[in-house]
Structure 1
Amino acid sequence: MSVRILALVGSLRAGSHNRQLAEAAVKLAPEGAEVELFEGLAEIPFYNEDIDVEGNVPAAAARLREAAGRADAFLLFSPEYNGTIPAVLKNAIDWLSRPYGAGAFTGKPVAVVGTAYGQFGGVWAQDDARKAVGIAGGTVLEDVKLSIPGSVVRFAETHPVDDAEVAAQLTEVVSRLHTQVGEVTAA
């Protein structure tokens, strides 16, 4: 069974280390798993029920929902902005939490990982993302965590895919998502 994992990156910066981490996840996905890196979070307007009207949903938000609808699981990459989740990632979670009770996350496995400059690797933001996506209906894999500190130094000259320790840990995260989808499907 092929498992589709949608990756959402909470940083819009072209050289983002979290984006590089997501690119590594795409390359390191085990056989039977496909990680799709969603492009276009910057184009999605802030969530507003007035514009979330069937048949008139903004095109960028509709594309996100379509990609999420095809996904079997989600892998969120969150840096830490001022001690919490970046607005762009929170906005994506908000769009995917609707319609209420039947959003794209409902019943699907979700893992949250990331890297940040600080000594804790963005753990506060990742915890906030887990909370938000859990409330949005996702089945958060609470024991699957990867917070990589010191991103500016650690990845200054090395892409995460070429960091053996990070590659092994990231491969384990994707494998755990893959396994969890199989368990949910079998249940």
Structure 2
Amino acid sequence: MNDSRFNQQRREQPEPQEGSRPVPKVVLTVIGLLLLWAVFHLYTSFNPMPASVGDDRVAADFAVPATADGGQLYTANCVACHQASGAGVPGVFPPLSKSEWVDASDPGVMIRILLHGIHGPLTVEGVQYNGEMPNFARFSDEEIAALVTYVRSSFGNTASATDAKTVAQVREATQDQKSPWKGDEDLGLLLDK
């Protein structure tokens, strides 16, 4: 009987003990050597660049120009629908390239479209589009003028430029327009016939 109790005790795991098991000295040595190597490497590879190597730019060189850039405005706001080429998406978004709405002798036509947007059927180059164009009334007169000028002189268009004064006049003349233009119905009379 004593043998069975002794055998049972031998099969049991020893009681856990609290204590510290230090990190092995080999590991501490490797860490120390890596630290010394890193400090040595940083010390030997540090190479301050003399000021004469710089590109001579100052903070003013990074300032955003005060004038609006029509190309940037087009890229940020119009490319998704009218595409980078100005060709639009057939049957969905009308083209701006060689469009009668863009090439009209009066830049006020395009300004009106940008200020109030369009809802409903609009015919461009003989193809009818029936969709929505948001308004960009939140843009300043300078920004709208830059955008109109950019589109009217890009994508094969050769129409005249416009200025912020013209945009301000159109904005004032159409201030009672609270909803988008009804495409051909509202804007058709403005085109050169």
Q: Is TM > 0.5 for Structure 1 vs Structure 2?
A: no
In the superposition, the TM-score normalised over structure 2's length comes to 0.27
Relative to its length, the structure with more strand (as a share) is 1
Larger RCO of the pair (alpha carbons < 8 Å, separation 6+): 1
TM-score, L = length of structure 1: 0.28
Q: Which has the larger radius of gyration?
A: 2
